[in-house]
Amino acid sequence: MYLDVVHLRAFYDLPLGRLLRSLVGAPIRKMWPDLKGQSLLGIGYAGPFMRPYLDNAERAIAGMPAPQGAIPWPPERDSACALVQDGALPFPDAYFDRVMLVHAIDHCSDPSSMLKEVWRVLAPGGRVIAVVPNRRGLWARSEHSPFGYGRPYSSGQLKELMKNSQFNVLDDREAVFMPPSKSRYIVQAARTWESVGRRIWPAFGGILIMEAEKVIFRSIPTGGEKARLRVLRPVFIPEGVATGLKPVRAARPRVMSL
């Protein structure tokens, strides 16, 4: 179930939302340090994490699902926002180089259908980043952020979903190791939590970030020498059935006298 876009915008304007924007955005920028000359599509509520690419990406569009609602994005420029349906994105085939999914596959009713459309609009070799709540983490169990309202995933579950949608997983990382709290002391120590968490309990980060690449299967030709080879198998012919073939008499055994 999608959250209302008004609530999402309000959360990312809060101190905790701005902090999560930084903690989740850092691994994303390591995966995608530069998108110069490339086209980017964000689905869900990806605007806060697409902002670093506005100045160098050739095209950046925020696709906001209809059940969630849409707001103008980015607010300081001409709007590049589109209202979309999960299973029917209003874009041509192979139109984008990169796709970012935030509050998307963990909120939609049919993740496979959404990823099928993502695969369609991605160019060959295009890449996708999915940001979801980690099933092992605490943030999936807290209502302090939008990540507590979606469907959490384990790393294995998300990899399997990507594989079944014809994506090859390239990288996966955890982020947000601080406890889900609005406490000023916890928020101020967030960087320390991140540093300690990555070393001590790396599998228990609150957010899972996975990068995958579009896979295109090549057809295998059926012609050639191997296609012309015939495999002969023994065939049982019942007695008395006419075959048009002359019977072959078995040779009599020769008896040698001693």
Q: Is 19 in a helix, a strand, or coil? A: helix
Asked if the structure places residue 244 within a domain, the reply is: no
Looking at residue 45, its pLDDT comes to 97
For residue range 8-44, list pLDDT tens digits in order: 999 999 999 999 999 999 999 999 999 999 999 999 9
Q: How many domains does the chain have?
A: 1
Q: Are 179 and 201 in contact (CB under 8 A)?
A: no
Q: Where are the alpha helices (DSSP H) in the chain?
A: 5-13, 15-31, 47-50, 111-121, 155-164, 184-188, 190-200, 225-228
Return the CATH number at 16. 3.40.50.150
For residue range 182-206, list pLDDT tens digits in order: 888 888 888 888 888 888 887 889 9
pTM of the model: 0.82
Q: Is 87 in a helix, a strand, or coil? A: coil
Asked if the structure places residue 220 within a domain, the reply is: no
Instruction: List the chain residues with pLDDT less than 50.
Output: 225-237, 241, 243, 245, 248, 250, 253, 255-258
Asked if the structure places residue 242 within a domain, the reply is: no
- Contacts of 223 by beta carbon, 8 Å cutoff, 6+ apart: none
Asked if the structure places residue 126 within a domain, the reply is: yes
Give the domain extent around 53: 5-214
Asked if the structure places residue 197 within a domain, the reply is: yes
Asked if the structure places residue 231 within a domain, the reply is: no
Q: What is d(CA 8, CA 113) in angstroms, rounded to the nearest whole number?
A: 23
Asked if the structure places residue 229 within a domain, the reply is: no
Asked if the structure places residue 11 within a domain, the reply is: yes
Q: Are 138 and 88 in contact (CB under 8 A)?
A: no
